[in-house]
Structure 1
Amino acid sequence: MPSFQPISFDNFFNVIDGKLTSTETTRRSVNPSTLKNNPDVPLSTIEDVDKAVQAAKKAAESWAQVSWEDRKKAVEGFASALEAQIDDFAALITREQGKPFPRAQLEMRTGVEWIREFCQLSLLETVIEDNSTRRISTRYTPLGVVAAIIPWNYPVHPLACGKIAPALLTGNVMILKPSPFTPYSNLKLAELGLQFFPPGVLQALSGDDRLGPWMTEHPDIDKIAFTGSIETGKKVMESCSKTLKRVTLELGGNDPAIVCADVDPAAIPTITGIAFDNAGQICCGIKRLYVHESVYDTVVATLLAVLPHLKLGDGFADGAFIPPLTNVQQFERVRELLSEVERTGLKLIAGSTKPTPGAGKYTGYFVAPTVIDNPPEDSKIVAEEQFGPVIPIIKWTDEEDVIKRANNTRYGLGASVWTQDIAQAERMASKLQAGTVWINSHAELGASYPFGGHKNSGLGVEWGIEGMKSYCNIQTKLVRSSPWDGKS
Structure 2
Amino acid sequence: MNKNIFDGPYYQTIAGKLATSAASFDVFNPATGAVLAQAPAASAEQLEEAIAAAKTAFKSWSQLSYEERQTYLNAYADALQEHRDELARLLTLEQGKPLKTMSEPEVDQSISWIRQIAARRLPVEIVEETDAHVVELHHTPLGVIGAITPWNFPVLLALWKVAPALITGNTMVIKPSPFTPLSTLRFGQIAQSVLPPGVLSVVAGGNELGPQMTAHADIAKISFTGSTETGKHVIRSAAGTMKRLTLELGGNDAAIVLPDADWQAAIPQLFWGAIGNSGQWCVGIKRLYIHRSFHQEFVAAFVDYAKLQKMGDGLDPAVTVGPVQNKMQFDKVRTFLDDIKANGQKVVLGGEIDDSRPGYFIPVTVVDNPPEDAKIVQEEQFAPIVPIIVYDDVEDVIARANNSPYGLGGSVWGRDTKAAVAVANRLETGMVWVNEIHTQGVDIPFGGHKQSGLGTEHGNEGRQLFTNPKTILIHK
What range describes the TM-score normalised by the shorter chain of this pair? over 0.9
Residue matched to 1:327: 326
Paired letter, 1:400: E
Residue matched to 1:110: 109
Deviation of 1:444 after TM superposition, in Å, equals: 1.6
Deviation of 1:10 after TM superposition, in Å, equals: 2.1
Paired letter, 1:273: W
Residue matched to 1:307: 306
Give the 3 Å change call, closer, same or farther, for CA 426–6 of structure 1 in structure 2: closer
Ranges in structure 2 where 5+ consecutive residues have no aligned partner: none
Larger displacement relative to structure 2 (8-17 or 63-72): 8-17
1:337-486 alignment runs, 5 A limit: 337-352=336-351, 354-359=352-357, 363-481=358-476
TM-score normalised over the length of structure 2: 0.97
Deviation of 1:269 after TM superposition, in Å, equals: 1.8
Residue matched to 1:39: 37
Paired letter, 2:472: K
Deviation of 1:131 after TM superposition, in Å, equals: 2.0
Paired letter, 1:454: H
Give the Cα–Cα distance (whole angstroms) in 2 for the partners of residues 189 and 6 of structure 1. 14
2:182 aligned residue (181, 184, 204): 184
Give the Cα–Cα distance (whole angstroms) in 2 for the partners of residues 286 and 210 of structure 1. 32
Deviation of 1:426 after TM superposition, in Å, equals: 1.2
Paired letter, 1:229: S
Deviation of 1:358 after TM superposition, in Å, equals: 2.0
Residues 1:232 and 2:230 are matched in the alignment: yes
Residues 1:86 and 2:81 are matched in the alignment: no
Paired letter, 2:277: N
Larger displacement relative to structure 2 (441-450 or 364-373): 441-450
SS of aligned partner of 2:470: strand
SS of aligned partner of 1:345: coil
Deviation per CA, 1:120-156: give whole Å up to 9, x if none.
2210111011121000010100010001001000000
Give the Cα–Cα distance (whole angstroms) in 1 for the partners of residues 332 and 445 of structure 2. 31
Paired letter, 1:283: C
1:85-164 alignment runs, 5 A limit: 85-102=83-100, 103-157=102-156, 159-164=157-162
1:241 aligned residue (239, 242, 267): 239
Q: Percent identity?
A: 44
Give the Cα–Cα distance (whole angstroms) in 2 for the partners of residues 310 and 175 of structure 1. 39
Paired letter, 2:110: G
Residue matched to 1:55: 53
| Structure 1 contact 288–393 (Cα < 8 Å) conserved | yes
Size of the aligned set, in residue pairs, is 472
| Structure 2 contact 5–89 (Cα < 8 Å) conserved | no
Deviation of 1:266 after TM superposition, in Å, equals: 1.0
Deviation per CA, 1:342-375: give whole Å up to 9, x if none.
11111111111x312324xxx0000101011111
Residue matched to 2:215: 217
Residue matched to 1:485: none
Deviation of 1:321 after TM superposition, in Å, equals: 1.0
Residue matched to 1:486: none
SS of aligned partner of 1:320: coil
SS of aligned partner of 2:72: helix
Paired letter, 2:335: E
Give the Cα–Cα distance (whole angstroms) in 2 for the partners of residues 297 and 183 of structure 1. 43
Deviation per CA, 1:161-207: give whole Å up to 9, x if none.
10000000000000110000000011111111112211000000010
Deviation per CA, 1:256-278: give whole Å up to 9, x if none.
00011222221112211221111
Give the Cα–Cα distance (whole angstroms) in 1 for the partners of residues 333 and 390 of structure 2. 24
Give the Cα–Cα distance (whole angstroms) in 2 for the partners of residues 349 and 282 of structure 1. 23
SS of aligned partner of 2:241: coil
Give the Cα–Cα distance (whole angstroms) in 1 for the partners of residues 6 and 90 of structure 2. 11
Give the 3 Å change call, closer, same or farther, for CA 42–384 of structure 1 in structure 2: same
SS of aligned partner of 2:71: helix
| Structure 1 contact 118–464 (Cα < 8 Å) conserved | no
Ranges in structure 1 where 5+ consecutive residues have no aligned partner: 482-488
Larger displacement relative to structure 2 (295-304 or 166-175): 295-304
Give the Cα–Cα distance (whole angstroms) in 1 for the partners of residues 6 and 86 of structure 2. 9
| Structure 1 contact 269–302 (Cα < 8 Å) conserved | no
Paired letter, 1:276: I
* Ranges of 4+ aligned residues in structure 1 off by more than 6 Å: none
Larger displacement relative to structure 2 (36-45 or 282-291): 36-45
Deviation of 1:9 after TM superposition, in Å, equals: 4.4
| Structure 2 contact 144–170 (Cα < 8 Å) conserved | yes
Give the Cα–Cα distance (whole angstroms) in 2 for the partners of residues 214 and 6 of structure 1. 36
SS of aligned partner of 2:186: helix
SS of aligned partner of 2:367: strand
Deviation of 1:397 after TM superposition, in Å, equals: 1.3
